[in-house]
A and B are shown apart, each in its own frame.
Chain A
Amino acid sequence: MSTESKRLAVTAELPRLRRYAIALMRDRVEADDLVHDVVVRALDKLHLWREGTNMRTWLFTIMHNLHANEMRRRSRALDSVPLDSAPPRAEPAGQEAAVEWSELSNAMTGLSLVHRQVLLLVGLEGMTYAEAAGVLEVPVGTVMSRLSRAREDLRRRIDEGSQHSTIRRIK
């Protein structure tokens, strides 16, 4: 496969990378920064991508690692303030969707990062457990247990959503 074809393969995956990044980070500016960094890295490392392997999971793996590095860097900078408790700065989608699905959106916001990751990779991106395990660099069993807990946590939060409506964040 020519370099140009590989670049096109990268480009074809970018809408999905952006969707995942925005859903995960809940901040479009940061998500776009991350996707841009992934593209920079991927273009530099294009010779390392092996034809016949999955371009999507390769790019998602790069993104996961860059994101993890960034989180570590920030958590050092913030000195023990858990990043996941930081309030979101942007709604994930358009106005209508945000209203219509606000319960789900709010509930997602409350999940831990690892739970959001696995829910989005499997539930939104449609990855197999094996693919998600590869991206997150954890065993398949870990993906399954996280997913199981994430879905229950999400279910519980959605059910509790109405009770918490008065303390929902103000846009």
Chain B
Amino acid sequence: MGEDRVSDSELNALVDGELDPARQAEIEAWLAENPEAAQRVARYRAQSAGLHALYDDILNEELPVRTAALLESRRTGVPAWAAMAAAVALFVVGAAGGWIVRGEGIPDSGAQFASATAPATTPPIDTQVLMQRASMAHVVSHQDELRTPAVGGPAAMADYIADRMGKQVRVPSLESFGYNMVGGRVLPDTDGPAAQFVFADKDGQKVSLYVRSEQANGVDITYALADDLSMFYWNDSDRSYALVTRIDDDSGREALLTAAKAVHRQLSQ
């Protein structure tokens, strides 16, 4: 090859396929006789391949719930927070437990109904057990039964729960919603121990998060209601979660959803 030296920019352009074919052929011929430059090109290519190895898995991940809900809401005209709850199929849980699960997109549909969009398959998580356990734990959670978080903070609480549950559980925070942690505990459940975290605001209004071991198909944040207890539940690969409180008005429910989303995000980080 000729007199002109190959510049750094040209080596980069070769890597990125930015050269015209004639120049590319020239440089490739030149590289055959310049192993040091050839090695640099190989290194640059390896960098790009490494970036793909590091980050390509992200392409296969689900979009975050709220972003998916935003897109869905623009499509359907249903508010985003409602689309989020309704993003999952609407289905009815066994009447024995007295629980009604409903999509938020349909206001005041207090009666049980089976939606046309409901999957014919088994519900992805055992919602009935989750709801019963979570609501029972919520109602019967006096302070003296709880491990208080005062000493050692969230880390100590996480260790306490992990020791008794046999696996790590993240300790969520609801401080930004005005709820401080009252305590946590481990309770027996069908698939091994479950964890419960109890929070309260300055007026004593209680919110609790129930975490039980369960491997099931993913379900998005979904609303459920029984008598005067409201909850949002969801799951990940090996746990299901329910955030429970005693409200049944729209603003309270929306506040609970916001809190549920925050907890969901904290726990799925």
Contact = CB atoms under 8 A, between A and B. Distances in A.
A29 B269 contact: yes
B135 to A, nearest CB: 30
Nearest to B41: A151
A36 B265 CA distance: 14
Interface string B49-62: 01111111111110
Contacts of A22: 55, 58
B47 A39 contact: no
B67 A14 contact: yes
Nearest to A104: B50
B54 A23 contact: yes
Contact of B55 (A11, A23, A144, A154): A23
B40 interface: yes
Contacts of B67: 14, 32, 35-36, 39
Nearest to B60: A15
Contact of B63 (A18, A105, A128): A18
A55 interface: no
Interface stretch (A57-65, A69-77, A86-94, A163-171): A86-94
Interface of B: 8-9, 12-13, 16, 18, 40, 43-44, 47-48, 50-61, 63-64, 66-67, 70-71, 74-75, 265, 269
Per CB-CB distance, the 10 closest pairs between chain A and chain B, nearest first, are: A123-B48, A19-B58, A104-B50, A124-B51, A15-B59, A148-B8, A32-B64, A23-B55, A36-B67, A144-B9
19 contacts: A7-B74, A7-B75, A15-B58, A19-B55, A23-B51, A23-B55, A29-B269, A32-B64, A32-B67, A93-B57, A100-B53, A101-B54, A108-B51, A119-B47, A124-B52, A128-B16, A144-B9, A144-B12, A155-B43
